[in-house]
Amino acid sequence: MPDVLQLDDQFPILADAQRVAGPLRVLKHGDTFSVFDQHGDVIGGEAEEQGLYYHGTRYLSTLELLLARRRPLLLSSTVSDDNVVFVADFTNVDVRREERVELPRGEIHLFRSRVLGDGVSIDRIRVGNHSLRTIDVPLSVRFGADFADMFEVRGTRRPRRGTLLPERLGDECVLEYVGLDNVERRTRIRWTRRPDALEPGTAKFLLRLAPHEKISFEMSVICEENRHERAASDFDTELAASRSVIAARRSRRCVLRSSSESLNRWVKRSAADLQMMITDTPHGPYPYAGIPWFSTPFGRDGLITAYELLWAAPEIARGVLSFLASTQATTYSDVQDAQPGKILHEMRSGEMPALGEVPFARYYGSIDSTPLFIMLAHAYFRRSGDRAFIEQLWPHLLAALDWMVRDGDTDGDGFLEYARQSENGLVQQGWKDSNDSVFHKDGTLAEAPIALCEVQGYAYAAWRGAAHLAEARSDAAAASEWHERANHIQSRFEEAFWSDDLGTYALALDRHKRQCKVRSSNAAHCLFTGIVSSRERARRMCSTLMSEASFAGWGIRTIAAGEARYNPMSYHNGSIWPHDNALAAAGLARYGFTGAATRILDAMLDLSQAVDLHRLPELLCGFHRRTDERPTLYPVSCAPQAWAAG
């Protein structure tokens, strides 16, 4: 049984101790993405994330390219700077017959490249003979599809599945699955060069190469639903289409360069990752959260990513706000943790969400997405002056404000708090949504309803921002009321959350309004939102956040060392998250602690130079930084992750 690393107790992400070593490669195009090893192969097991995915389902779970029945010797492997093309170079290992070397190592060059399109992955394979003799090169491709739902890949067990149909072989290979949701899912595998032999799970080629001759062909893996056949495409067409979209987007955005090449490499990769994660929707561009586990719209992630990008690309914020307005809850649904006016937590495709086996087809179990929605609307207006869009958004903003009063604050104490209604929903509904992420000093878990400290900061900023928008609309009465609400939250917050013992704000209040006296990174978000009214308390917070217990050298830990549930290898109780540190740095700078903010950003820059492709991961382990050693990565972290790139 694989070891379990908890994302949350209901829906864990499994991390097998036998995971494939080495960094994985990732490509994404719209709702299609692929995760594979440095060879370009998909060889992971049931609980491995490798595969080709479309609409929340894995359409390819095995893909292995063999030369003379062996894996070729990998020479190099990378993804292009714009994240569009994967390329790898190989050569042959010594091929022996009995005791004699039949084909010495290094005589065959194999070049493999891959590009994605909408529901399609295309490999171009080129084989070259660098010897002085004619060689018959046996090449084979192993393939298979389990059509696993993303939650199955993550490790969720199902009592029963749909039906895998027998492979159909002809000029192409067709793999099919009929789900319990009655959706027919199909993988077609086509080659521009006809295989010399095609049998279940394997295509075989025998390539006769004269000295210095090269042969190329393409392999397309096509994802289809309900007999909707896709038109044939090719490598060059998909490559040109992807790069045309990138060129059009770049022409509308700023280019950032500095005198530091380290910073330039980090910025270049982050920009490319954001370009890949931002997905066109009918409502505008939306940054999907992360690959592989969260390649779908998430409310909180999209809002924070858009906030991070607001200075450079305000159109992302407009797309996010439009999308979330279109999916805003209008009715009560305990199954979805939804109430009228509440903003989406996540929305997923796939068999299990469609059947209700998991509640995430459209799920609203997030306490902070709604105030963040209002915060971003105000920030977007300040950045763009787009009054017409704010008018269009106004009914949705009013509905969100109503939710904050009516359902977000059920006991009327002025604080936003949560308690799940859905039997299968998330227990914890802040950004740290592991089951064990909110606890008391002695380690006992807090009982719901729970009021998180950072969420009160978001609520404060939401009311303040709404008041400024009302002023822009010449609605003095609403502006006055909402300013007063912001003032009330700010004063109540100082009374209820400040802990002199900790030198910071308590992580949360439990159902009995008792403080969770734990040093956490959550409190840094309070600086970011401006709810902290005392300069002296801000100074003490800075000292606490930058102490050795909290600042690990690679960034601020989610939970300080020494706390009861501190674990540097956990998802939320001692790990380091780049986006969390970005908000902390912004908050510290807001209160004038620029030295501390710079120290955090320097740590993030160092991290970018220490990880593969200069790509900041979703999170890393919170071990203290050791001289001349690289950071300890979290084994099932998403990379790329939109808000880490932002």
- Dmax over CA atoms of the chain, in Å, equals 92
- Spell out a b/e string for 539-554, using b for 16 or more CB atoms within 10 Å of the CB, else e: ebbbebbbeebbbbbb
Kindly write down the DSSP assignment for every residue of 581-622, as one continuous string: HHHHHHHHHHTT-HHHHHHHHHHHHHHHHHSGGG---S-B--
pLDDT for 16 beyond 60: no
Between CA 513 and CA 449 the distance in angstroms is 9
How far is Cα 294 from Cα 291, in angstroms, rounded to an integer?
Answer: 6
For the sheet containing 214-225, what is the strand order?
73-79, 85-91, 108-117, 120-129, 214-225, 184-191, 173-178, 163-169
**How many CB atoms neighbour CB 12 within 10 A?**
19
Choice among 71-80, 227-236, 280-289, 359-368 with the minimum mean pLDDT: 227-236
Q: How far apart are CA 351 and CA 162, in angstroms?
A: 9
94 band by pLDDT with thresholds 50, 70 and 90: confident
**Average pLDDT over every residue of 439-447:** 98
The confidence band for 366, taking pLDDT boundaries of 50, 70 and 90, is: very high
Answer yes or no: is pLDDT of 2 > 90: no
Burial of 284 (0-12, 13-18, 19+ CB in 10 A): middle
Separation of CA 486 from chain center: 32
Q: How far apart are CA 438 and CA 448, in angstroms?
A: 10
For the chain, give the percent of residues with pLDDT over 70: 96
Does 475 score more than 70 pLDDT?
yes
pLDDT at residue 422 in the model = 93
CA separation for the pair 93, 108 (Å, rounded): 9
Residue 104 has pLDDT above 90, yes or no: no
For residue 192 the two structure tokens come to 């521009």
- pLDDT confidence of residue 48: 84
Query: What are the pLDDT digits (tens) for 196-248?
Result: 999 999 999 999 999 999 999 999 999 999 988 888 899 999 999 999 988 88
Indicate if the pLDDT at residue 586 is higher than 80: yes
Judge whether residue 536 has pLDDT over 90: yes
Of 93 and 35, more confident: 35
Q: Which of 454, 482, 452 is nearest to 466 (CA)?
A: 482
The verdict on pTM exceeding 0.85 is: yes
Residue 344: pLDDT over 90: yes
pLDDT tens digits along 621-631: 999 999 989 99
- For residue 398, the one-letter residue type is L
Domain definitions of the chain by residue range: 3-228, 262-645
**How many Å apart are CA 75 and CA 398, to the nearest integer?**
58
Q: How far apart are CA 300 and CA 512, in angstroms?
A: 27
Average pLDDT, the chain: 94
**What's residue 12's pLDDT?**
60
Is 3-228's fold the same as 262-645's? no
What pLDDT is stored for residue 14 in this prediction?
Answer: 58
Task: Tell me the C-alpha to C-alpha distance, in Å, between residue 137 and each of 113, 198, 293, 338, 510.
Answer: 19, 17, 38, 60, 68
Stronger pLDDT, 18 or 22, i.e. the higher one: 22
CB 43 within 8 A of CB 50: yes
* Confidence class for position 380, pLDDT limits 50, 70, 90: very high
Distance of alpha carbon 645 from the chain centroid: 10
CATH topology of domain 3-228: Beta-galactosidase; Chain A, domain 5 (2.70.98)
**Average pLDDT for 485-492:** 98
- Report whether pLDDT(273) > 50: yes
How confident is the model over 589-594, as a mean pLDDT? 98
pLDDT in tens, 106-129: 999 999 999 999 999 999 999 999
- Hey, what's the torsion of the CAs at 308, 309, 310, 313, to 10 degrees? 180
pLDDT mean over 375-402: 99
The whole-number average pLDDT for the span 425-430 is: 97
Q: Could you name the CATH architecture of 262-645? A: Alpha/alpha barrel (1.50)
User: Which whole number is the average pLDDT over 422-431?
Assistant: 96
> Is 70 exceeded by the pLDDT of residue 17?
no
59, 148 Cβ separation under 8 angstroms? no
**Is the predicted pLDDT of residue 45 greater than 80, yes or no?**
no
Confidence tier at 252 by pLDDT (50, 70, 90): confident
Percent of the chain with pLDDT over 90: 90
One-letter-per-residue 3-state SS of 99-125: CEEEECCCCEEEEEEEEEECCEEEEEE
Question: Which residue carries 């808000």 as its tokens?
Answer: 643
- Amino acid at site 142: R
- The DSSP letter of residue 419 is -
Q: Are 379 and 310 in contact (CB under 8 A)?
A: yes
Contact 77, 41 (CB under 8 A): no
Residue 468 reports pLDDT greater than 70: yes
